[in-house]
Amino acid sequence: MGDKPDRPKMKLIFIKWIDSKNGPEGWEFLEEIESLKPVTCYSVGFLLDDTKDYKTIAPTIGGGQVLGRITIPSCAIKKIKILSG
Instruction: Read off the pLDDT of residues 61-78 as tens digits, 9 standing for 90 and up.
Output: 998 899 999 999 999 999
Other Cβ atoms less than 10 A from the Cβ of 56: the count is 16
Q: Decide: 13 and 45 in contact? Cβ < 8 Å.
A: yes
CA distance 35 to 51: 33
Q: Decide: 43 and 55 in contact? Cβ < 8 Å.
A: no
Instruction: Tell me which of 4 and 83 has the higher pLDDT.
Output: 83
Concatenated DSSP letters for 7-29? --SS-EEEEEEEE-----SS---
Report the chain's mean pLDDT, rounded to a whole number: 92
Instruction: Read off the pLDDT of residues 7-36 as tens digits, 9 standing for 90 and up.
Output: 568 999 999 999 999 999 999 999 999 999
Residue spans of the domains in the chain: they are 12-21+39-84
pTM for this predicted structure: 0.83
* 47-68: average pLDDT: 95
CATH number at 12-21+39-84: 2.30.30
